[in-house]
Structure 1
């Protein structure tokens, strides 16, 4: 039946995701429905084969993109469906016993354009003479992020610009190290963001965390204490190629921009959060280069992930807290992702996460939840947090930031008015984790 389905939607018009013109999602619907076992299996099949190819143009057009997968706690899926596939998709949902399909958005392109217009009205480009001129309540280009971090390091003696690697398109991955008084080789906190290109709130929130830590060291007792106790490493954009592509060409682009002509010449990039070496290619991984969750041709095939791994391995001997910022859903995710089992220190991680969640609520009123990747979301292998767990890092969280994982939320187009509050609540969570680790590990 699946092969018949594939034949049904192959002969259609193609849009080229490799050409420089902006990708249009005109007519794409965002739908939600409650899945059952058969429907969930079919959905995973579509994740691998839901594309149209044009060999003469070396292009691929996405037919289905799973925004939010069902889990044991949330049976509802949220899926983006191309207009030419909507009828077939609806028919097959009925075949698989799904009767509650709802259309959340009739035309996703309209929402993307509205968000772009809103951002354009707010953006007033100005030369960055000082770090304080940087507008934290806007979504910035990667070059603007670098300029800000460079200015911040030049103006603050306890802030250092760090180079953690290079991208497929030869962009340098920069981050910030914030340190205080105390001995060298202290325990460390490492935060990365922007792994998935379309999740713009993640790097924006990381920049707010950087700003608050740098500006308030020496003026805020809590921040001064945790910076004196821990070295802080924050890399706000770990997928600059994909991010810039999402800004200029395809707003919903998720992957890196690596090319491997020996695997598939039509499809570009890999899911950088399926590319880590621990349990790579297992549950939840996808071997189709066109899939949005393609694990890559081999572990650490993506130079961005190799760079992060090498930097952490050789420069951070006492990594105590690791957080990777994503969106969306408002959850703190712990290992494991590759299995339903929990690690031996899960209860300790849960206690720390509960304190972080309470800190968020006390700061902005937002509600976050906690659980493992596999129980709250879906099976996922080759993730950074599973890698860090295997490495022995005590406190590890994949954070799905705002908005909530609800049927009619902003999804990946969170308005910039929410940037600073999202960053503030993330800072509160990280400070709570640092205080807890200090006591538990007697640092």
Structure 2
């Protein structure tokens, strides 16, 4: 149907130059019938030109799709011919990406980190050194191994009292996701230095193990070369690189939602824990597993709180308790900016992708509180404007405190 846009894939994968997305168009496509849905699914499966930022999962679930300028007219004609409605979110996503980085030189705080824009790994790790030096009684730098390219997977432990149950938080499993690392560092800031009474109580009641970027190679590559890079950077063939870390954990690995094709952005690897990042982090979690009270994993985007397990629609473990906690907490999240989240299993409210860190931890250790946040939003995707970064941080932190509050209220924690 589409004439293939021939790209030099090898050049994209290894070049130190930045790939640009000038005049690439972001669409919000709205399938309303089974026939619409099947057409969009076939495009997702077969098109080598269109870039799907979200997987077609259910009828009436909007899908974010990017088209290069050469294919825009034909794509719109195919949608119109079938009566499929769509909105053009952005006619030039490169402009949005430029705006995400152009204000980085403006700092809001003396210690070198800010929450009015997206953060780099170097800025985050330098800030960790500042915290460990100036708040040494509360903050300790921790490591969970190294990435394929030798970068440290670095986090912080926040603890005001010894012998407390542990909560693990992660972000940045997807390279193109710049929002979750920034949201996670905001949580760190509130727990370590904030004046919120609930945050202070949370840092006294629990021991927090927090890693903002589990995929440092992919994160850096998205900063330096390919803004929309999703995977890690381990070579998987002579011409392909990377595995989708969000689907590489040992829970129903490969059952649904991922690809066995190394060229695809959702390639799941050769097996669970095939990647140095997931292996290293899983070993770290093993060291605190018997003491885990909870795990919360953060990623962009979709405005959903996903409860284990993705492979089934049946309530498993303490699913009903977590749905109650999640719905109440998402109510708290909506108070400031009216941001609306869906709550449920991935199979029920998202795409049913298996092999996530949350599902693995729930199956392996069964802590009472486990969930995956899909942060803002449902329209902008990875082009989310910088003016939404701080609101995202604020509302997510409010919901985190609400999760703890509601879990205690129903005697889960």
Moved more, 378-387 or 69-78: 69-78
**2:66 counterpart (60, 77, 80):** 80
Give the unaligned 5+ runs of structure 2: none
Aligned equivalents of 1:29 and 1:92: distance in 2?
15
**1:212 counterpart (187, 190, 197):** 190
Question: Aligned-pair distance for 1:290?
Answer: 1.3
C-alpha spacing 1:165/1:69, structure 2 compared with 1 (3 Å): same
Task: Note if 1:21 corresponds to 2:17.
Answer: yes
**1:189 counterpart (167, 177, 180):** 167
Task: Note if 1:135 corresponds to 2:114.
Answer: yes
- 2:376 counterpart residue number: 402
**1:201 counterpart (179, 197, 201):** 179
Q: Deviations over 1:169-202 (max 9, x none)?
A: 1100111111112x42x22211101111112111
Aligned equivalents of 1:88 and 1:133: distance in 2?
47
Question: Aligned-pair distance for 1:74?
Answer: 3.3
Give the unaligned 5+ runs of structure 1: 52-62
- RMSD between superposed Cα atoms in Å: 2.6
Aligned equivalents of 2:318 and 2:59: distance in 1?
22
Aligned equivalents of 1:106 and 1:213: distance in 2?
36
Aligned equivalents of 2:306 and 2:59: distance in 1?
14
C-alpha spacing 1:198/1:114, structure 2 compared with 1 (3 Å): same
Q: Deviations over 1:124-162 (max 9, x none)?
A: 479x9x6x3422322222111100012111111111111
Within 5 A, what are the aligned runs for 1:334-353? Answer: 334-353=307-326
Aligned equivalents of 2:376 and 2:285: distance in 1?
27
Task: Note if 1:175 corresponds to 2:155.
Answer: yes
Question: Aligned-pair distance for 1:39?
Answer: 5.6
Aligned equivalents of 1:299 and 1:383: distance in 2?
10
Aligned equivalents of 1:168 and 1:48: distance in 2?
29
- 1:34 counterpart residue number: 31
- 1:102 counterpart residue number: 86
Question: Aligned-pair distance for 1:91?
Answer: 6.7
C-alpha spacing 1:388/1:442, structure 2 compared with 1 (3 Å): closer
C-alpha spacing 1:363/1:78, structure 2 compared with 1 (3 Å): closer
TM-score, with structure 2 as normaliser: 0.89
Moved more, 229-238 or 33-42: 33-42
Question: Aligned-pair distance for 1:87?
Answer: 6.0
Contact 2:89 2:380 in 1 (8 A): no
Question: Aligned-pair distance for 1:37?
Answer: 4.7
Aligned equivalents of 1:98 and 1:69: distance in 2?
20
What secondary structure, in the 3-state scheme, does the structure 2 residue paired with 1:104 have?
strand
Moved more, 346-355 or 76-85: 76-85
C-alpha spacing 1:384/1:119, structure 2 compared with 1 (3 Å): same
- 1:308 counterpart residue number: 281
- 2:103 counterpart residue number: 121
Contact 2:24 2:93 in 1 (8 A): no
- 1:384 counterpart residue number: 357
**1:431 counterpart (401, 405, 412):** 401
TM-score, with structure 1 as normaliser: 0.84
What secondary structure, in the 3-state scheme, does the structure 1 residue paired with 2:103 have?
helix
Q: Deviations over 1:250-300 (max 9, x none)?
A: 111111111122xxx222111111100111111112101111111112111
Contact 2:96 2:383 in 1 (8 A): no
Contact 2:57 2:351 in 1 (8 A): yes
Aligned equivalents of 1:342 and 1:84: distance in 2?
46
- 2:208 counterpart residue number: 232
How many residues matched? Answer: 408
C-alpha spacing 1:11/1:334, structure 2 compared with 1 (3 Å): closer
C-alpha spacing 1:350/1:89, structure 2 compared with 1 (3 Å): same
Moved more, 320-329 or 15-24: 15-24
